[in-house]
Structures are given as structure tokens and as C-alpha cells.
Structure 1
Amino acid sequence: MSQLDTTLEQQTSHQKKMIWFVVTFILIAAVGLLYVKWWPYYHKSLTAAHTHSIGSSILGDLSTLTPSWQTAWDYAVAYFQSVWKAAVLGILLGSLLQVLIPTHWLLKLLGKKSFGSTAIGGIASVPGMMCSCCAAPMAVGLRKKNVSVGAALAFWIGNPMINPATLIFITFVLSWEFTLIRLVFGLILTFGVSYLANRLVRDAEPVYDQVLKDPQQEGSFLSRWGKSLASMVLYILPAYVLSVLLLGAGRVWLFPELSDTAANSLMAIILFAIAGMLFVIPTAAEIPIIQTFMSLGLGSGPAAALLITLPAISLPSVIMVSKSFPKKVIWFLLASVVILGIVSGLIGKMIL
């Protein structure tokens, strides 16, 4: 057998191996999402259609709470009981993505600074239906594979913002007007803000022939995955848990009681837009929070602001991805979420 034949055989074997890796990743993702997201949300949709509710507010009765370590602990327990399965799945997929998906395959789809790569990242987020914290490990994994800023941001933000299950819940529990606001601003955040973030980055687009041999594919699969998983757990979990505790303790300050005259004011919209951007919640938890607040007299303006800013990002999720994106991109995203939250609040005040 000639050297050329041997080389071609090795390349064919390598290609088949890569295909099996990708198929394995897709199967793990599909089974995990079916168990953690798709099947439970199917039943929750039926519940929302019949009862016009998906549960009580995770914030609890704020009128009886005072900032304390017990308050922090109680919220952290309630929060992690709701998200732990999705969080584990997010870390698992984020680590497997780095060792199962060939870098040059990802870069051809998601490595460009064009709107096309951003759009593919956003569309790929739709089946995930993750909250911002559970999607963060996958965004980190994408950035470690040199995926463009816009594509990684679109995938991260798209998970909570254009989650089809959440849109269904909003329609049944709140109203179709709220659903329309969420969809429009979700699309702007996912595709528009993510694409504009690419303009802030001067890094050149990757040259594909320089990454055909993926250095991350060297060594055994178990050793590579073990390093990827350990790095992700050690980096993500401590900051994640600590920030959830701090926000749980301070939720009384973030969501204060408002007088009747202030409940639908511009100041309330701004305050709740900022609070929503900082606070951390499970997937779709913004719906019972808004439902409860409005039953207590909160105006439609601040409610519409929360509808955008609560799910989009949070302080814990931003901390988790902070080393994966340039600082100016992070600050641009924070400002964009708050500004769009305020705009949605003003629109909500006028039409709801």
C-alpha cells in the first residue's frame, strides 16, 4: 500500500470517528433535553392551558422577608431544586462539546463575524430552552472552541429569550400581548445585540486550514473530557453558588414594595429593569413572579420590563461567562438588556 493510500485511509478513519463523535453528542443532548426540558414542559403547557398558572412565585412573600443568611439559604435551596438537573446537563454538554465536536466544523458554521453565524447560533438555541445560568457552560464551551462572539452570545441569550415553551406559558398565564413583547425583544436581543457585539471585537476570523488538526483531539477521550469537565466545574460552580446566595439574601432590596402612584412610573420601570437584569431565576420563573406582582398592584410597565430582563441574563450567569467574552462585550450586553427592558416597559405601560 502506497503512502498516499495510507494517508487517505487514515483521513477516512478520522472522518468516520469525528462523525460518530458528533452523533454521540447529538444523542446525549437529545436524551438529556427530553428528560430535563421537553417532556416536563409538555405537561406544564397543559397545566398552563387549564389553570392559567405554572406555579407560585419563587421569590416568596417579600413583605415578610428580611435580608439574612437564612433568607439566602432558603432561596438558594428553592432555586437549585428547580434547576439542578438542567445545570448538570448544561455542564455536561458544555464539557462534551469541547471534546466531541471538531473545531473546524464549528468554525465553518459559527466562527464568522457575519450575521449568518450569529443567526445559526440563535437558531441552535431554540431546542435548549435553558435559563441563562444553565446555558452559560455551553456558551463557555463554544468560546473555548473559538466560536465567534456573536454566535456564542446568540446561543446563550436565545436559550431563555426565544424559548418556545416559555412563550406558550406566557400566552396562557399572562396574555398574548405579553407574548408579543417577549418575542419581539427576545429576537432583538438574540440576533441584533449579539450581532452588534461582533462589531466590538477586532479579532480576525479564524483561518480554517489552520485548525483542521484540532489540538484538543490529542490524547484519549476520557482524559480530554476529564480535563474539560474538571475545569468547567472548578471555575463555574463556586461563583455560581455564591452569587445565588447573595442575590437570594438581597431580593427584598431588589424588588421593593411600591406605592400605588409609583407602581407604574418610569422610575419603577427603570428600577425593575435593573433588578431583573441582576437577579437569577429558573426557566420561566418570571411568569409567576410577574403574575404575583401584578396581583399586588404592580403596573404593566415594570411587569413588561421584568419579562425581558429577568430571563435574559443574571449576575451569576454573567460571572460564569465573563472570562469567555471581552469585557466591553459584557458591558455592552448589560447595558443593552437594561435599555431594552426599559423600552419594553414603556411599551407595556402604553398598550397593556
Structure 2
Amino acid sequence: MAEASVQQRKHPAMPGVLVAVAVAIAGLLWAKWWPYQAKAHGLATTHTWAGSGIFGVGGVQPGDAPSWSAATSFTSAYLRAIWKALVAALLISAALQTLVPRTWLLRVLNRRRPVSAAVAGGLAATPSMMCTCCAAPVAVTLRRNGVPTAAVVAYWLGNPLLNPAVLVFLVFVAPWQWTLTRLVVGAAVVVGGAVLVARLTDRRVPEEVAVPGPAADEAPSLRRYLGALLRLVLTLVPEYLVVVMLIGAFRGWLFPLGGDLRSGLLVVVVAAIVGTLMVIPTAGEIPIVQGLVLAGLSLGAAGALLVTLPAVSLPGIAMVGRTFGWRVTTATAAVVVAGGLVGAALLPALNL
């Protein structure tokens, strides 16, 4: 006990770090790891994805005019799917802000070379397995603590694109070419795309949004934690919900794939761009792409959607834009669109 007391005096931040680790493990176990384990077990037995894509909720079809009913039905279905992950993300983000010293975060994610930083960010993203919107609060906190652009962008993109649970789901319910396309292009976008974004943009954190974490000699504080959590809820969640509702209302126009728009170069470009803007829950791309392929969508467009649908979204962009800076955010979205075009070329080639 005396030795533990000495260590605590030497490292007063250690209790806070341990609490942050416990919050992360408990939140991910509740929101992600346990539900996905059960989902994977069921898919291994049935090899069939139950349910349909979220864009058709409420009977909305491609080309339908915007409506309040479309907005509320989509938002309700989306929140039912992601609310646990969003709660976990907010709790984890507040813990990183107030319980983990900034120098400790930088020690893990700050690397001399952008490639190494991107790899570190991508690896850090793999266990959390969040959708782009739920990963956004954590990515915002990392950026505000001075984590370099390559690592932060890789973390944000790596959560949805390198999600091991989704890759397992694809193995069970889709052709192997789908899994390989997602893995290869996803890894290239996460690492290569993050490096490219870092090289093309200003990597400094804007001073007006930089909020350093606690010092290494600062003891944890429940008051600071609750204050950070409240700020995250008040600053990120309202704009997030507004954009989700707008997408739900206009989804008939925003996601026009189907009907006459099924094949050709135009549909691939539309899929790459629209898929980047739309918002879906984790693994929501699987029933969407399966349904569209059964309805006659080309493999090229399917390959684009496998990459772009989960990667980023308008609500995610709204959440990270001020902190990342709009140059970084726009460049990240452009990299995802480019990745979608690569996926559009790779998937049909694998099926030859």
C-alpha cells in the first residue's frame, strides 16, 4: 500500500487514466462488443441479413419529395440503431478530455512521420468499431489535444472502414469479393488518405478550438468530467440531430439510386458522392447495397457504396468541421469519394 501511495504521488493522473480506460471498456462492451458478438453468431448460422436498408424506412422511395414524415421516421430508426454507441462515444470523449493527460495521448498517437501516425490512428480505431458520427466526438477531442492530422483522420475513418465486426458480417452474408474490396480499399483510404490529407492541409490545431487535456501532474476531477460531457452534448448533439433530420427529409432526392439509375459511369460517380454524404448506422451499408444489387444496381456502384456509405457523412462533417478545420474536412471527404471510385473499379474486377 505504501508503494502504491508513492506511485500515486509520482503519477497523480494515473487514477484518472484508469477510470478513462474503464469507461472505454465498459461503454464499448455495452454498445459494441457484446451486441456484435451476438449478431455475428446469428449471421454465422443464418448467412442472411434480416431487415432492409434504412433509407426505405417509412415507405420512402427514390425520387420522393421531402416531408416531415420522412424526416421523423428516418431519425427515429437511426437513433434506435446508434443511441448506445453515441452515449458511449460522448462518455469516452469526455474521459479523454479530462482524465487522460495530453502528453500521454501524444505519446501514443504522435509520430515523426505521417504514415506512422496514420497507422497508429487506424489501429486505435479498430477496437471501438463506431460509425462515423459516433466516432466524431472522440476524434474532435483528440484533435483539440494536439494529436496530428494524419492520426486523427485515420482514427475517424478507421472506425467505420476497418470495423472488424462489419468485415465478419460481410464474410457471413456477402460474396468474398465484397469483403476484400472493403478491406483493401478501406485500409488504403484510412492510411493513405489520412497521409494525403495531412500533407495537403495545415496540421496545426486552430487556437480558438484547442482545449488541452489535464497536465500529467493534475489529479482527476469529477466536476471537470461532467462539465466536459455537458459541453459535448450541448455543442455536438443538436447540430448532429438537425442534419440527420434534414437527410431523412430529403433522402428521396439525396439517394436517387434505383429505378432508371442503375448502371453506367454516371451511377458510379453518383454512388461515390452521395454515399459520402449520407448517414447510416454501423453495418447499415450491408442491407442497402444488397437490396440495390438485387434490384439491378451495377457492381461498380455497389463497390463505391461499400466504401463511401460508412466512411463519412454530412452529420459527421458538421460535428468535426470547426475543430478539424474545413480544409481538412473537405479534403477528407474528397479522399473518401476517390476511395469509392477505386472500390467501383476493384469490385467488378474481382468478379471477372
Shift of 1:344: 0.9
Partner of 1:107 in structure 2?
Answer: 106
Shift, 1:328, TM fit = 1.5
Alignment correspondent of 2:228: 228
Where relative contact order (Cα < 8 A, 6+ residues apart) is larger, the structure is 2
Q: How far has the Cα of 1:216 moved from its partner?
A: 9.5
In the aligned structure 1, how far is the partner of 2:15 from the partner of 2:293? Answer: 51
Counterpart secondary structure, 1:147:
coil
Deviation readout 1:202-223 (Å, 9 max, x if unpaired): 4579xxxxxx994597687122
Q: What is the percentage of aligned positions where both structures have the same residue?
A: 39
* Aligned-residue offset at 1:191: 1.1
Distance apart, 1:28 and its partner CA: 1.5
Aligned-partner SS, 2:42: helix
Q: Quick check: 1:339 aligned with 2:338?
A: yes
* 1:258-269 mapped onto 2 (5 Å cutoff): 258-259=258-259, 262-269=261-268
Structure 2 partner of 1:59: 55
1:24-45 CA-partner distances (Å, limit 9, x unpaired):
2112211211111111111111
Q: Given the superposition, is the C-alpha separation of residues 79 and 217 from structure 1 closer, same or farther in structure 2, using an over 3 Å criterion?
A: farther
Are the equivalent residues in 2 in contact too, given 1:113–1:198 (CA < 8 A)? Answer: no
Alpha-carbon spacing, 1:167–1:203, altered in 2? closer, same or farther (3 Å): closer
* Counterpart residue number, 1:196: 196
Farther-moved stretch of structure 1 (61-70 vs 101-110) = 61-70
1:29 aligns with 2:24: yes
What corresponds to 1:149 in structure 2? 149
Partner SS for 1:158: helix
What residue in structure 2 maps to residue 87 of structure 1? 86
| Bigger CA radius of gyration | 1
| 1:57-79 superposed Cα distances (whole Å, 9 cap, x missing partner) | 11224438542011100000000
Gap change, CA 1:336 and 1:203, over 3 Å in 2: closer
Pick aligned residue for 1:16 from 11, 15, 20: 11
Contact 1:122/1:151, CA 8 A, preserved across alignment: yes
Shift of 1:258: 3.9
2:44·2:172 contact (CA, 8 Å) conserved in 1?
A: yes
* 8 A contact 2:300–2:344 mirrored in 1: yes
Q: Secondary structure at the match of 2:300?
A: helix
What's the TM-score, normalizing by structure 1? Answer: 0.89
Q: Amino acid of the residue matched to residue 74 of structure 1?
A: S
Secondary structure, counterpart of 1:83 in structure 2: helix
Which one is further off, 57-66 or 95-104? 57-66
Kindly state the Cα deviation for residue 333 of structure 1 after the two structures are TM-superposed. Answer: 0.8
In 2, the alpha carbon distance for the partners of 1:167 and 1:203 equals: 31
Shift of residue 255, structure 1, vs aligned partner: 2.3
- Of 287-296 and 68-77, more deviation after overlay is shown by 287-296
Q: Distance in 1 between matches of 2:217 and 2:228?
A: 12
| Distance in 2 of aligned mates of 1:216 and 1:43 | 39
| Contact 1:99–1:216 (8 Å) recurs in 2 | no
Asked if the contact 2:97/2:213 (under 8 Å) is kept, the reply is no
RMSD: 2.5
What one-letter code is carried by the residue in structure 2 that aligns with 1:73? T
Following superposition of structure 1 onto structure 2, how do residues 107-256 of structure 1 map, counting pairs within 5 Å? 107-112=106-111, 114=113, 115-203=115-203, 214=214, 221-256=221-256
CA displacement, residues 193-240 of structure 1 (integer Å, 9 cap, x when unaligned): 1122222344579xxxxxx99459768712211221122111101110
Tell me the distance in 2 between the aligned counterparts of 1:45 and 1:98.
Answer: 33
Whether the 8 Å CA contact 2:99–2:220 is kept in 1: the answer is no
